[in-house]
Amino acid sequence: MSLLENIESPQDLKALPVDKLDDLAVEIRHHLIETVSVTGGHLGPNLGVVELTIALHRVFDSPREPIVFDTSHQSYVHKMLTGRSKDFATLRQKGGLSGYTDRGESEHDWTESSHASAALSIIDGMSKAFKIKGEDHRNAVAVVGDGALTGGMCWEALNNISAGHDRNAVIVVNDNGRSYSPTIGGLSENLGRIRSQHGYDQLMQEGKKRLKSMGWVGERAFDALHAVKEGVKSTVLPTEMFPELGIKYVGPINGHNVGALLHALSYARDYEGPIIVHVVTEKGHGFAPAVNEPKDQMHSTGAIDPVTGVAKGKKQPGWTAAFSEELLAAAAQRDDIVAITAAMAGPTGLAPFEEKFPERFFDVGIAEQHAMASASGLALAGMHPVVAVYSTFLNRAVDQVIMDIALLKMPVTIVLDRAGVTGSDGPSHNGVWDMALMSIVPGMRIAAPRDGARLRELFNEAIAVETGPTVVRFPKGNLLDDIEAVDTLADGVDILHYSDVDVDSDTDTAAETAEGEEIPSVLIVAVGAMSTRSMRATTILEESGINVTVIDPRWVCPVAQSIVALGADHDLVVVIEDGIMRGGIGSLISEALEAAEVDTPVRHIAIANYFPEHASRGEVLADNGLEPTAIAEQINQWVEMLVEEETEGQF
C-alpha cells in the first residue's frame, strides 16, 4: 500500500518517519491532480499547501487543537490526512465530499462557510473560550492567505488577538502572492519586500523556469532551490509587517520544505501568546501547467487533462463574457463608467476592462464592504461605478449598499455574477439571497435577464439610471437560448407566451371541469433564467388542457403595475424564481396584489428556506421543484384545488 492509503487520521501521519514525509507529499500531489482533473475543483491552492498541511497535522493535535482554514477551498490535503482520501472521486458531487470543510464530514472540520477573512475572528473566539475553560496550552490555529488579509475583518480580528497576550492563537499566513489573481495593495507590497529580503522572489522565478523546462522532473529541482533557505529565522518585525500590534512574528518560512515547517510550527505550538508564522508557498506547486498558467494558476478548474492541464469539453458562450463585452462597449461611449472588483477581475469578467481602461479599474482586494462604500464615493464625485461581485459575496456588503449607496440615492450599478443556485461549490456559495436582500432596500431596482440579449438590454438600462442604485443579476454557466417576447407592455414587462386551450369533455386531464365551466387561467411570472424552464413546463400544462400566460418582468423590483393588472385577469398567479422563497419576488408580487385589493391567489416555486448542499446546479434546482416536469405537476395540483374549492372560497 502507498503511504497515503495507510493514513486514516493525523495519528497515522505522526507515526510516519520524518524521512517519509517528502514521499507522502509526492503521493498527495499525484492524488490531487488525478482526482481533481476529473471532478473539477480548487487545484492550484491545494497543490500549494501540501507540505504545509502535512506539517500542521504533524505538529498540532487535531481535532483537540482546531485548524481553521480561511475560505477552506485549500482543505483538500487536510481532508486526505483526516481519513477521506479514498472518497475523493466523489468530490463536489451530490452526496459526496464537499469542496470546503464540512462539519458533517469530520470532527476535524470546524467551519463550513467559504467566505474569506473570517478565520482569524473564529480562532480569536476559540482562544478566548479555551482560556475561560482553563485550557491554557490548547492552541487555536488559522491558515489564512495573503489575499484574505486584504479583507478588513482580518484586521479587526488582529486588533483583538493582539490584546490577548496570554491566549494561544496561531496565525499561519500562507503567502503565495495571490487570491484568485495577484494580491493587491500595501499589505501585498509589504509582504513582497519581506520575501525579497530573504531571496524568495528570486528563488520562485528560478523554480518556475525549471518547472517550465523540465515538467514533472522539475519538481525535485524546485524543492532543491527552496532548500537553500532551509532553517527558521525567528524575528519580531512590528514595523514591517503588523505595525504596533506586538504579535510575535516568525518567518518567512519555505512553505515547501517540511523540515523548516516542522521547526517553525513546533516553535509556534509551544509559544505562549499569539504568534504569526509567515509561510511562503507557490500556488500550483509541483504541476507545471498550473504554475505556468498566467491568469490564476488553476485556482478553480473544471475537468482537465491530468498531464497537460488542458480543459476538457467545448467552451460555450457564458453570461459573464456577455456582460464583459457590454461593459467594454459602454465604457467606450461613456467616460464616467468605472469598474470595481473585490479580488476577482477574471471570474467576474472585468479583466478585459482592466486591460483597456486601467485608469478606470479598481481592484480593492477581498473587501466587498469597502468596494460598495468606495463606489458611493466615486458616484458622489460624478462617476457611474459598476461593481461586479459574486452574488453570495454581496451578503457581506448589505449595510454599505443600504446606508452608503441607497440612502444617498447614488447611481451605482451592482452586477451579481453566479446569482441563484451555483451547485457544486456548496451552501455558502449559492447566490439565492440577493433578491430577498436587495428588494427591501428603498429605491433599489433589480433586473433579472432571461438570456444574453436581455442581459445586454438590461445592463444598458441599468447604467442609464441616475436617480439611485440598480442591480443586474445572472446565473453561473453558459448562456441560455434567447427567448423573444410575443409582446412587450408599456412598463417593460415581456409577454413570452399566451395560450388558449379548448378543453374536450372527454379529455382526462388534471384540470378537467364540469360541463360548461371555463378552465382556470394561470399567469406564470418567470424570473430571469427560470423563463426557459417555465416555457417547457407550459408545454406540459397545455397538454393537460390548462390556459397559461408566461411573462418575464425583466425588472423584478419594483413590481410593475402591468403584473398587478395581469394578475387580476387570471385565476392563479405562480411566481417561479431561483432565489429563496421567503422574502423573494413572489412575496413582492403577493404584497403588490394585496395592496391593489386583487384577490387572485399567488403561489411560489422557489428555493426553500435552507442551505442547499453541494450538487450540480440542475440537481439542486430539481430538489426544489424547479425542473419543468415538477413545475407542471405542482401547477396542475394547484389548478385541481382551485377547480374543486373555488366555489367554497377555500383556495
Helices (H), 136-257: 152-161, 186-197, 200-214, 218-227
Query: According to the model, what pLDDT value does residue 338 have?
Result: 98
Higher-confidence position of 297 and 447: 447
Catalytic residue, chosen from 368, 418, 450, 533, is 368
Confidence class for position 238, pLDDT limits 50, 70, 90 = very low
**Of 133, 174, 429, the residue nearest 277 (C-alpha):** 174
The percentage of the chain sitting over the pLDDT mark of 90, rounded to a whole number, equals 63
Higher-confidence position of 295 and 648: 295
Q: Work out the average pLDDT over 255-262.
A: 93
Query: According to the model, what pLDDT value does residue 404 have?
Result: 96
> Is the pLDDT score of 235 beyond 60?
no
Gap between the Cα atoms of 199 and 251, Å rounded: 13
State pLDDT tens for residues 357-389: 999 999 998 899 999 999 999 999 999 999 999
The dihedral region occupied by 428, where left means phi > 0, alpha psi between -120 and 50, and beta the remainder, is: alpha
Give binding residues as ranges. 73, 114-116, 146-148, 176, 287, 368
Gap between the Cα atoms of 416 and 527, Å rounded: 15
> Is the pLDDT score of 558 beyond 90?
yes
Query: According to the model, what pLDDT value does residue 588 have?
Result: 96
The percentage of the chain sitting over the pLDDT mark of 70, rounded to a whole number, equals 85
H or E, element range at 533: helix 530-543
CB 278 within 8 A of CB 233: no
H or E, element range at 192: helix 186-197
* Domains observed in the chain: 4-291 (3.40.50.970), 319-473 (3.40.50.970), 487-648 (3.40.50.920)
> Is the pLDDT score of 228 beyond 50?
no
**What is the three-class DSSP state of 620?**
helix
> Rg of the chain over CA atoms, in angstroms?
27
The three cell numbers locating residue 34: 488525478
**Of 639, 641, 650, 645, the residue nearest 523 (C-alpha):** 639
Q: What is the mean pLDDT of the chain?
A: 86
> Is the pLDDT score of 246 beyond 80?
no
The three cell numbers locating residue 152: 478588513
Query: According to the model, what pLDDT value does residue 154 have?
Result: 87
Give binding residues for Mg(2+) as ranges. 146, 176
State pLDDT tens for residues 591-601: 999 999 999 99
Query: According to the model, what pLDDT value does residue 145 have?
Result: 87
Instruction: Judge whether 283 counts as a catalytic residue.
Output: yes
Give binding residues for thiamine diphosphate as ranges. 73, 114-116, 147-148, 176, 287, 368
Gap between the Cα atoms of 486 and 615, Å rounded: 35
Query: According to the model, what pLDDT value does residue 71 have?
Result: 86
H or E, element range at 618: helix 617-623
**What is the three-class DSSP state of 347?**
coil
Confidence class for position 259, pLDDT limits 50, 70, 90 = very high
> Is the pLDDT score of 46 beyond 50?
yes
Confidence class for position 305, pLDDT limits 50, 70, 90 = confident
Query: According to the model, what pLDDT value does residue 355 have?
Result: 95
State pLDDT tens for residues 386-415: 999 999 999 999 999 999 999 999 999 999
State pLDDT tens for residues 518-531: 678 999 999 999 99
**What distance lies between CA 516 and its chain's CA centroid?**
54
Query: According to the model, what pLDDT value does residue 646 have?
Result: 61
Rounded-to-10 torsion of CA 190, 193, 199, 202: 100
Amino acid identity of residue 9, one-letter, is S
Question: What are the percentages of helix, strand and coil residues in the chain, rounded to 5?
Answer: 45, 15, 40
Catalytic residue, chosen from 283, 473, 603, 617, is 283
Query: By mean pLDDT, which of 336-345, 500-509, 576-585, 588-597 is the weakest?
Result: 500-509
| DSSP structure class, residue 263 | H
Gap between the Cα atoms of 21 and 33, Å rounded: 19
Within 8 A by CB and 6+ apart from 143, the residues are 49, 52, 56, 67, 68, 69, 70, 74, 119, 172, 174
Query: According to the model, what pLDDT value does residue 207 have?
Result: 52
The three cell numbers locating residue 428: 455558502
Within 8 A by CB and 6+ apart from 82, the residues are 9, 10, 57, 62, 106, 108, 109
Instruction: Judge whether 314 counts as a catalytic residue.
Output: no
- Per this entry, what is the length of the chain? 651
Query: By mean pLDDT, which of 208-217, 503-512, 529-538 is the weakest?
Result: 503-512
Query: According to the model, what pLDDT value does residue 217 have?
Result: 40
> Is the pLDDT score of 216 beyond 60?
no
Confidence class for position 242, pLDDT limits 50, 70, 90 = low
Gap between the Cα atoms of 293 and 299, Å rounded: 10
Name beta bridge partners: 373.
none
Query: According to the model, what pLDDT value does residue 506 have?
Result: 43
**Of 179, 619, 631, 630, the residue nearest 422 (C-alpha):** 619
End-to-end CA distance of the chain: 65
Instruction: Judge whether 396 counts as a catalytic residue.
Output: yes
**What is the three-class DSSP state of 525?**
strand
| DSSP structure class, residue 423 | -
Name beta bridge partners: 141.
67, 170
Residue by residue, DSSP assigns 123-135 as: HHHHHHHHHHTT-
CB 252 within 8 A of CB 279: yes
Catalytic residue, chosen from 195, 396, 454, 473, is 396
State pLDDT tens for residues 116-149: 888 999 999 999 999 999 998 899 999 998 788 8
CB 616 within 8 A of CB 425: no
The three cell numbers locating residue 403: 446606508
> Is the pLDDT score of 229 beyond 90?
no
